[in-house]
Every structure is written in structure tokens, then in C-alpha cells.
Structure 1
Amino acid sequence: MKRKRLACLLAVVALVVVYAVTAHISASYGTRSTGVDGVGIRLFRPLLREVLNVHSSDRYALKIGGKDYPNVEGNYPYFLSVPEIDSVVFRFDRNNDRDFTTVVRNLRDGREFLFHHDLTYLPFGDPLVTVKKADQEVIVVSCRGKDYTLDLEAGRIRIDL
């Protein structure tokens, strides 16, 4: 009886150790092109805790100018191209904790504009998400009858219904 308990305890400890060690380790399957110069997409292997979770899905990262943005949201290609100002707009979750950041990244000079907020899901990459207006100060993104104004100067997003 003691041997069974010890074996069971050792199995549980082994699982906990494997889970703890792999909780923040992932490997990528390489970067593939998106058709926009300087922007690549990487698929990450699911973490052990995600393999055990039946609700888990693949995780993707954007690689722009040598910098990785993990856990991007939306649909392939996971960003909205804004050619008027040589930029892309996307959402990502740096720590996989559902705390999203929307980023406007200039592909020419590498400048970033970060918007930290709890924005309603805006599926970048979806054909319904389009750029209505774009200049050096404001980007207006339209989706399903709503306009999202990204004020680059003030660092705020306004939703117009």
C-alpha cells in the first residue's frame, strides 16, 4: 500500500515539475511571409498546459523588424495594413493573460504607438475590418458599423457607434 502511494505521489510530482518547467517555454515552427515586407508570422508549439486544456488553440506571433509580438489576436494575417503611413495595426497579449495591447508599428522607421485598453474584440485580418482614414495623427478603423479612432498623438482609442 505504501509503495502505491509513493508511486502515485512521485507521478504527481513529476507532472507538476514538467508543467512548471514547460509553462513558459515554447518553440516556434519558423517564420513565414505575410506578403508585406518586414512582417512575418510564427506558429508556436502549444505549451504543456495548453495541450491539457481542450479549449486551447494554436498561438501565433508577428515578427516585425526583428521584434516578436506574441499571442496576436484576430484572423490571418493577424494585422491590418495601413499603406498610407507605411504601418500595420494589430493586437497582442504579451504575457498570455488576456491583457491586450493594440500596436501601430511603422514599417519604415520602426516607431511604435501602443494602446493599452480593454477594447471590444476587433479581428485584425478579417475582411470586414478596414481603414477608413489614416494620417500621421489619426487612424480610423471601421468594423461592422463601428469606427475605432486611434489617436496616435494622445495614445487613446475612441469608439464611434
Structure 2
Amino acid sequence: MAIWAKIKQLELSQLFVLAKTFLFKPRLILPTYKATKNTVKICNNLFGKAHHKDNKTNAFRHALWNFKIAEASLPQVKQRDKAIAWAEEITNLHERLSPNPTLPQTMDLHNNKIGRQLFLQEISSEEIIKKLQVMMKSAKLVQQAQEISAYQNNLVFIKTM
């Protein structure tokens, strides 16, 4: 996921929504960008290109991405709940601007939430990777969006490697 390539693919109306989001929170542009870039780098190192599929590695990436955005924005927003709100806002926006079919989108939103929940547990940046790797072992394979709500504390995925 090359960030600039994704931005260049957006339609004008989508670019407007993205610009408007950052217009009111300009100090969060750089932390969000760095967190996103760091997440992709970590996932590329751990999984190669596999994390671009709807599998366990993708679940890992979405959770880590939310954790990293919340962590990176905390020094700017000063409160954990505001950092969580920003991570949710920006990653939900990503799902709106790059729409998936219902099942992959529901999976992504669920795994995003897992990452934000882990951030609230005050897990360190070093520990989060190990924690998510352990969580991948108990990740749940789902075939319908309705199944996902049964796994509130688990990563979920829809494709095996």
C-alpha cells in the first residue's frame, strides 16, 4: 500500500473529504502518515505482500495500524480517548474512501477496533507486535459479516493464506 499511490487514485470528491478531515486537525497529518508508513514497513518485513489479502496478516495490519495511529497522535491530542477517536475517524474514512464489499469492510472495521482496544490497555509499542502475533494464532475465520460480532476480542479474517 503506497500511500501516495492511494491518494492519487482518489476522485476529486474523495480528495475534498480527506483534505477537509485534515484541515481541522493539521497537526495530525504527519503523525498519521508516519504511523501508516511504519505499519506498512513492519507488515512488509513480517509478511511480505501477504498482508494485502483478507487473511490473518491483514487482520494484524489493521489492528497494528489503529494502534500506531493512536500512539502517534497521543502527543498531539494529549488524551487517550482523543487519540482513539482520531484513529477511528481516519481509519473509518479510509474504509469509506476505498470501499470494499460488506464482508471485507466489516472485517477491517472489526480489526481496526481491536487495535484501538489494545491501545487503551496501554501496551507498549514494542509489545504490540508480539501481542498481535499471538492473537493471530486464535484469529477466527468468518464467511459472513454477521458472524464477526461473535468475536469481539479476536482478530477475524476471511481468507486462509
TM-score (norm 1): 0.30
Highest RCO, 1 vs 2 (Cα 8 Å, sep ≥ 6): 2
Q: Which structure has the bigger radius of gyration?
A: 1
TM-score (norm 2): 0.30
Greater percentage in helix: 2
Greater percentage in strand: 1
